[in-house]
């Protein structure tokens, strides 16, 4: 059947369907490459290597570029237009611009860091100074920040489609389960039998392929939240509609667990055990707080179904208690030995605050903590060891960017998280996606108070993808987030991959 003409040529319905099919296949291929990238990121010490930073930058920049070219060729708008996140995007652009300014060099600059004048005095010649103490470190940190932004942007666009958003969280859960299984194998076998294992394998805390247990704990926590988000979706679809009393609620839970909940339960068990065996105080507590927020956002919906929610809540508490009782010894031992405080870290925090006070507006240069801290280190901390991070991402952020631009970056992220919270409380479909994204933000936000998990790309990029999906699904599919065009509009949450419908 002929439905129109373009450039004097007849267009048939079959030709349009064929073109849409190719578009769906291309979009699915891009999404698959994106998931493969997320699976690769933890593989090499959590991407805590300069070479990995370069690989990730090229990979995710390439994915974003391919998607942009696909939209251009198909003549379609972005699924989520830039104006939908205008304020966070503007704040981010200002921060990026300021980081670039920090790396600029010119002689006799009034805002250059004093260390360049001191170096000129020592060398006896004039140096072109900059705001940053170490421009190379600032450029590397900028590369990692832009990579995280590209991951967020790609997830935001791809996961406006609800099928992709659900598949992304399933993939994150599966990937997290695979690395958790690897960590349990590492815990059971001598380190010589498997690559990337620390000498503590079999006798100490687990860290999987990560270079330390605390970073792996944060990553495992993100996987656990993704699993629990899927469990919420499963509960809503399979249990709540049928469980009208206590007996039917218990029966529905058991049936769902044995039929379609095996992946959720099995993966959740692996990740939870691996998380507890890390012995990370901060990782376990931050994950617990994220799960509490997830449960709190879940309780905001479906208040008429009290019985099934109560049954699942009791079962979840019992499962958590059993896991803690059987596998929680490393966490308990760490708490008994070290408590909740660390004298050295408190001293580092105070010294870092002092460095912020010296340059509160301009900062010392984004990502330059390892070069700045030795200038302030004193006898309040042990002379042993080198402090490459402050173990508090917020303090490092303010030290590097200054209070103004550091606050801008934090404000931009918080606005996106707040969008997820709003979606979790108002959406009727796919609300588990923004709900889990908000819980993941709480996890990394709390953990960043006592460690540097967000400075590890495996954690940062996984969280960025979850946040992008959460923001994309925070609005109903009936709410247009793209620039309106008279010809077509992209669909939202529940349509199959690549499908379109006109408004």
- For residue 467, give the nearest of 430, 413, 407 by alpha carbon: 413
- Measured CA to CA, the distance from residue 492 to residue 438 in angstroms comes to 20
pLDDT tens track for 344-377: 788 899 999 999 999 999 999 999 999 999 999 9
Q: How confident is the model at residue 186 (pLDDT cuts 50, 70, 90)?
A: confident
Name the average pLDDT for the chain: 81
The answer, yes or no, to whether residue 128 has pLDDT greater than 90, is no
In the block, tokens 């108070």 appear at 449
Question: Span 28-33, mean pLDDT?
Answer: 95
More confident residue, 107 or 60: 60
pLDDT of residue 358: 94
pLDDT of residue 222: 96
Cα–Cα separations (whole angstroms), residue 439 to 63, 119, 431, 470 = 27, 46, 13, 10
Within a domain: residue 477? no
The answer, yes or no, to whether residue 54 has pLDDT greater than 60, is yes
- For residue 46, give the nearest of 454, 438, 469, 385 by alpha carbon: 454
pLDDT of residue 112: 87
Question: Which phi-psi region, left, alpha or beta, contains residue 225 (left: φ > 0; alpha: ψ -120 to 50)?
Answer: alpha
Within a domain: residue 319? yes
Q: How far is CA 284 from the centre of its chain?
A: 17
The answer, yes or no, to whether residue 199 has pLDDT greater than 50, is no
How many domains, in total, are found in the chain?
1
pLDDT of residue 104: 92
Backbone angles phi, psi at 6, to 5 degrees: -145, 120
Within a domain: residue 11? no
The answer, yes or no, to whether residue 190 has pLDDT greater than 80, is no
- Measured CA to CA, the distance from residue 151 to residue 310 in angstroms comes to 37
Q: Which domain holds residue 252?
A: 22-472
Within a domain: residue 499? no
pLDDT of residue 491: 41
pLDDT of residue 329: 55
More confident residue, 250 or 306: 250
Q: How confident is the model at residue 426 (pLDDT cuts 50, 70, 90)?
A: confident
The answer, yes or no, to whether residue 200 has pLDDT greater than 80, is no
Max intra-chain CA distance, the chain: 84
- Measured CA to CA, the distance from residue 23 to residue 79 in angstroms comes to 14
More confident residue, 299 or 70: 70
Within a domain: residue 335? yes
pLDDT of residue 278: 87
Q: How confident is the model at residue 124 (pLDDT cuts 50, 70, 90)?
A: low
Q: Which residues lie below 8 Å from residue 77, measured CB to CB, with a gap of 6+?
A: 71, 482, 483, 485, 489, 490
6 sits in which H/E element: strand 2-6
pLDDT of residue 307: 46
Within a domain: residue 87? yes
Within a domain: residue 192? yes
Q: How confident is the model at residue 231 (pLDDT cuts 50, 70, 90)?
A: confident
More confident residue, 194 or 277: 277
The answer, yes or no, to whether residue 309 has pLDDT greater than 70, is no
The answer, yes or no, to whether residue 94 has pLDDT greater than 80, is yes
Of the ranges 281-295, 379-393, 469-483, the best mean pLDDT one: 281-295
How many CB atoms are closer than 10 A to CB 383?
6
pLDDT tens track for 129-183: 899 999 999 999 999 999 999 999 999 999 999 999 999 999 999 999 999 998 8
Within a domain: residue 330? yes
Q: How confident is the model at residue 495 (pLDDT cuts 50, 70, 90)?
A: very low
pLDDT of residue 233: 73
Question: Span 328-350, mean pLDDT?
Answer: 68
Residues in the chain: 503
pLDDT of residue 466: 97
- Measured CA to CA, the distance from residue 36 to residue 168 in angstroms comes to 11
Question: Span 203-228, mean pLDDT?
Answer: 86
């Amino acid at each position: 059947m002929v439905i129109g003409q373009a450039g004097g040529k007849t267009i048939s319905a079959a030709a349009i369907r064929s073109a849409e099919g190719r578009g769906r296949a291309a979009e699915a291929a891009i999404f698959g490459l994106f998931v493969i990238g997320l699976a690769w990121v933890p593989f090499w010490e959590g991407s805590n290597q300069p070479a990995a930073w370069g690989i990730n930058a090229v990979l995710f920049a390439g994915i974003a570029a391919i998607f942009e070219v696909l939209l251009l060729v198909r003549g379609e708008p972005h699924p989520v237009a830039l104006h939908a996140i205008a304020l966070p995007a503007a704040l981010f652009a200002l921060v990026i611009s300021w980081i670039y300014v920090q790396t600029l060099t010119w002689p006799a600059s009034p805002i250059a860091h004093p260390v360049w004048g001191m170096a000129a005095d020592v060398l006896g010649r004039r140096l072109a100074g900059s705001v940053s103490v170490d421009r190379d470190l600032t450029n590397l940190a900028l590369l990692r920040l832009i990579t995280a932004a590209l991951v967020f942007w790609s997830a935001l666009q791809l996961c406006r489609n609800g099928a992709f958003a659900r598949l992304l969280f399933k993939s994150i859960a599966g990937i997290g389960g695979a690395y958790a299984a690897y960590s349990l194998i590492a815990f059971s076998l001598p380190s010589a039998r498997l690559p990337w294992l620390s000498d503590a394998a079999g006798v100490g805390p687990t860290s999987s392929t990560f270079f330390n247990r605390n970073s792996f704990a944060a990553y495992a926590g993100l996987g656990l939240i993704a699993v629990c988000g899927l469990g919420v979706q499963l509960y809503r679809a399979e249990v709540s509609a049928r469980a009208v009393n206590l007996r039917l609620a218990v029966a529905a839970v058991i049936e769902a667990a044995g039929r379609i909940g095996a992946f959720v339960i099995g993966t959740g068990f692996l990740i939870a055990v691996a998380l507890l065996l890390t012995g990370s105080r901060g990782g376990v507590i931050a994950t617990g707080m994220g799960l509490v927020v997830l449960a709190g956002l879940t309780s905001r919906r479906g208040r008429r179904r009290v019985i099934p929610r109560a049954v699942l809540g009791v079962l979840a508490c019992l499962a958590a208690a059993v896991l803690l009782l059987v596998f929680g010894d490393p966490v308990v031992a760490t708490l008994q030995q070290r408590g909740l405080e660390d004298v050295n870290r408190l001293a580092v925090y105070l010294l870092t605050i002092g460095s912020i006070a010296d340059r509160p507006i301009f900062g010392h240069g984004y990502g330059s903590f390892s070069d700045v801290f030795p200038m302030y280190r004193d006898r309040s901390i042990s002379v042993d060891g080198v402090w490459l991070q402050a173990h508090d991402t917020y303090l490092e952020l303010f030290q590097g960017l200054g209070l103004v631009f550091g606050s801008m970056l934090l404000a931009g992220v918080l606005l996106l998280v707040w969008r997820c919270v709003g979606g979790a409380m108002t959406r009727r479909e796919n609300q588990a996606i923004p709900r889990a994204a908000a819980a993941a933000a709480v996890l990394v936000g709390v953990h960043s108070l006592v460690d540097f998990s967000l400075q590890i790309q495996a954690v940062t990029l996984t969280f960025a993808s979850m946040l992008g999906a959460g923001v994309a699904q925070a609005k109903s599919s009936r709410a247009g987030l793209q620039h309106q065009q008279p010809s077509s509009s992209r669909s939202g949450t529940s349509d199959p991959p690549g499908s379109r419908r006109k408004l």
